[in-house]
C-alpha cells in the first residue's frame, strides 16, 4: 500500500491517537414502525452521512510521527515533499520520505552525534497513521541529495518493524546455556500460530531472563499472572513481546498444525514455509500512547512492539473463492485428503452472516463471508493486477541415515565380500594418507 503525503496542517488531530475514535455521523435511528417512505428517507440520509464521514476520513492528512531510540515522540512531520510506505505479507516492507534538508526534522535526523550526546540514541522510529491503519518501522539509512533546481533534500529510507524478527536466532535449546546445546535441533508440534509464536517467545525470554523457568503452556496468558512464573516475565521493559494465545484457543480456531524445526536459523527463515502453508500473516504493532492495551492485563511501556500471527485468508475455516452473478459468492473451505498432502475445495452449507455486518461502523469485509468482489474491466477500480501460476517441482523426498559399520548396500550373500572390500579400501586409504602426510612433511621441510 502506498500512502501519498503532502504538506498540510494537522489542526484538529488528536496527537495521541487520532484514528482510534472516529466520530460517527449524527443520524436519526430508523424506526421499523414508521411508514415505508420515511424508513427509506432515513436509510438514505444515514447512508449519505456515513459516506460523507468516510470521505472526510480519507481526506485527512496521514499522521507521521518520528520517535527516538527510546520511543519518545520528537516530531510530528508535515513538511515532507513525498512519502511512500508499503506492507509486504510476512516480510519487511520498505518506506521512503523526502524532506527539505533545511527543516528542523531533517536536521535532527541527520545529526546523529547530537542525538547520541543528548541521550536520544542512534535509532529513529517512525509511525504513520492513516484511515485506522498504522505503518511503523525504523530508519535504514538517509542521504543528502542536491537536485537540479538547487534544492537540497534529505532522503530517508525506512524498514517495516517486521525486520526485527529477522535478527532473532532460534537456539537449538533455549533452556540451556550457550556452552551446552543439546539436542542439536529445536522442534515443536502444534497449531502453526501457536508453535511459531512459542519459538519466538522462548528466544525473547532467553534474551531478558538468564534464569529460565517455563510453565506447561508458556503462551497461556493466565500463566503470566499467577505463580512464580510472573516473577520471570516482567515485560514492562521489553522492546518486543509476543501476544499471548493459549494452545487450547489455537486448537479451537481451526489453524492447521505444523512441525517447525530449526537449528540456529533466524526466525524469519524458519517460519516462512509454515506461514505460507497455513496462509497466515505476521502483524507487528507499536503500542503507543492513546492505544488500548494489546491484551487484558498487559503491562507494557509505550513504544513496545507487539508481534502476533493472524489468519487473514480464512482458507481452512471458510471463505470465498468465487461465485456467479446470480447466486453470489460461494462460501468454501479447504479440506485435506487422506494423505494429508493434497487438498480439495469444499462448498460450505453454513450461511451464517457475521454479526459485524450488522454494526454500522464496520469498515471491512469479513474473511469468512466476503460481501464484495472486484472484477477487472474498463470501469473497475483495479488499476493493475497479476496472475501467477507456480507448477509443482519436486516429486519425491528421500531421507536416510548411516549404514551399519562395514556394510554399504551389501546383499545378504555378499556381506563377507563387502566387509573384505571395505577393509581393503580402508587399508589402501590409510596407506595413501600416510604418503600424503609424508609428502606434506617433506614440503614443510623445504
Count the Cβ atoms, other than its own, within 10 Å of residue 99: 23
Check pLDDT > 70 for residue 399: no
What is the domain class of 60-161 according to CATH?
Answer: mainly beta
314 touches 367 (CB < 8 A): yes
Q: Which of 89, 78, 95, 99 is nearest to 140 (CA)?
A: 95
Count the Cβ atoms, other than its own, within 10 Å of residue 237: 9
**Burial (CB count within 10 angstroms: exposed 0-12, middle 13-18, buried 19+), residue 217:** middle
Residue reference for cell 481451526: 254
CA–CA distance, 304 with 285 (Å, rounded to integer) = 8
Q: How far is CA 206 from the centre of its chain?
A: 21
Domain locations along the chain: 60-161, 168-310, 313-374
Q: pLDDT for 186-196, tens place per residue?
A: 889 999 999 99
261 touches 185 (CB < 8 A): yes
Q: pLDDT for 311-357, tens place per residue?
A: 888 776 667 666 666 666 666 666 666 655 566 666 666 667 777 77
Quick one: cell of 7? 504538506
CA–CA distance, 253 with 316 (Å, rounded to integer) = 10
Higher pLDDT, 440 or 90: 90
Residues 282-286 have a mean pLDDT of 96
Quick one: cell of 363? 469498515
DSSP collapsed to 3 states, 142-162:
EEEEECCCCCEEEEEEEEEHH
**Burial (CB count within 10 angstroms: exposed 0-12, middle 13-18, buried 19+), residue 10:** middle
Q: pLDDT for 115-153, tens place per residue?
A: 999 999 999 999 999 988 899 999 999 999 999 999 999
- Residue 333: phi, psi to the nearest 5? -145, 155
Question: What are the strands of the beta sheet with 82-85, ordered from one edge?
Answer: 73-77, 63-67, 125-130, 133-146, 152-160, 94-100, 82-85
Helix axes 192-208, 267-278, angle to 10 degrees: 160
Quick one: cell of 104? 528542523
Amino acid at each position: 500500500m502506498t500512502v501519498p503525503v503532502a504538506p498540510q496542517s494537522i489542526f484538529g488531530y488528536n496527537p495521541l491517537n487520532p484514528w482510534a475514535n472516529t466520530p460517527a455521523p449524527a443520524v436519526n435511528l430508523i424506526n421499523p414502525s414508521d411508514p415505508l417512505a420515511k424508513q427509506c428517507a432515513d436509510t438514505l440520509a444515514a447512508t449519505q452521512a456515513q459516506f460523507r464521514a468516510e470521505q472526510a476520513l480519507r481526506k485527512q492528512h496521514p499522521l507521521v510521527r518520528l520517535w527516538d531510540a527510546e520511543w519518545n515522540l520528537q516530531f510530528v512531520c508535515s513538511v515532507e515533499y513525498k512519502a511512500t510506505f508499503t506492507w509486504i505479507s510476512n516480510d519487511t516492507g520498505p518506506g521512503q520520505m523526502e524532506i527539505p534538508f533545511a527543516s528542523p526534522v531533517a536536521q535532527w535526523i541527520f545529526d546523529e552525534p547530537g542525538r547520541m550526546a543528548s541521550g536520544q540514541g542512534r535509532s529513529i522510529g517512525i509511525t504513520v497513521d492513516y484511515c485506522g491503519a498504522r505503518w511503523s518501522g525504523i530508519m535504514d539509512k538517509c542521504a543528502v541529495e542536491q537536485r537540479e533546481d538547487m534544492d537540497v533534500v534529505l532522503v530517508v529510507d525506512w524498514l517495516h518493524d517486521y525486520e526485527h524478527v529477522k535478527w532473532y536466532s532460534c537456539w537449538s535449546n533455549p533452556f540451556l546455556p550457550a556452552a551446552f546445546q543439546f539436542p542439536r535441533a529445536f522442534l515443536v508440534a502444534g497449531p502453526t500460530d501457536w508453535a511459531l509464536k512459542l519459538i519466538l517467545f522462548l528466544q525473547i525470554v532467553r534474551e531478558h531472563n538468564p534464569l529460565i523457568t517455563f510453565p506447561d503452556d508458556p503462551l497461556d496468558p493466565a500463566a503470566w499472572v499467577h505463580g512464580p512464573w510472573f516473577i520471570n516475565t516482567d515485560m514492562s521493559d521489553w522492546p518486543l513481546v509476543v501476544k499471548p494465545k493459549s494452545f487450547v484457543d489455537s486448537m479451537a480456531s481451526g489453524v492447521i498444525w505444523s512441525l517447525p524445526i530449526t537449528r540456529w536459523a533466524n526466525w524469519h527463515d524458519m517460519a516462512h514455509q509454515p506461514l505460507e502453508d497455513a496462509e497466515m500473516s505476521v502483524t507487528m504493532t507499536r503500542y503507543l500512547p492513546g492505544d488500548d492495551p494489546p491484551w487484558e492485563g498487559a503491562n507494557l511501556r509505550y513504544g513496545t512492539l507487539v508481534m502476533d500471527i493472524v489468519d487473514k485468508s480464512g482458507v481452512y475455516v471458510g471463505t470465498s473463492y468465487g461465485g456467479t452473478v446470480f447466486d453470489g459468492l460461494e462460501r468454501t473451505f479447504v479440506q485435506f485428503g487422506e494423505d494429508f498432502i493434497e487438498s480439495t475445495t469444499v462448498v460450505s452449507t453454513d450461511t451464517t452472516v457475521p454479526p459485524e455486518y450488522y454494526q454500522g461502523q464496520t469498515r471491512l469485509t469479513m474473511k469468512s463471508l466476503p460481501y464484495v468482489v472486484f472484477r477487472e474491466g474498463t470501469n473497475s477500480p483495479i488499476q493493475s493486477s497479476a496472475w501467477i501460476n507456480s507448477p509443482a517441482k519436486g516429486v519425491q523426498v528421500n531421507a536416510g541415515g548411516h549404514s551399519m559399520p562395514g556394510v554399504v548396500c551389501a546383499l545378504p550373500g555378499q556381506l563377507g565380500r563387502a566387509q573384505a572390500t571395505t577393509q581393503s579400501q580402508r587399508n589402501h586409504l590409510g596407506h595413501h594418507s600416510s604418503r600424503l602426510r609424508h609428502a606434506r612433511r617433506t614440503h614443510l621441510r623445504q
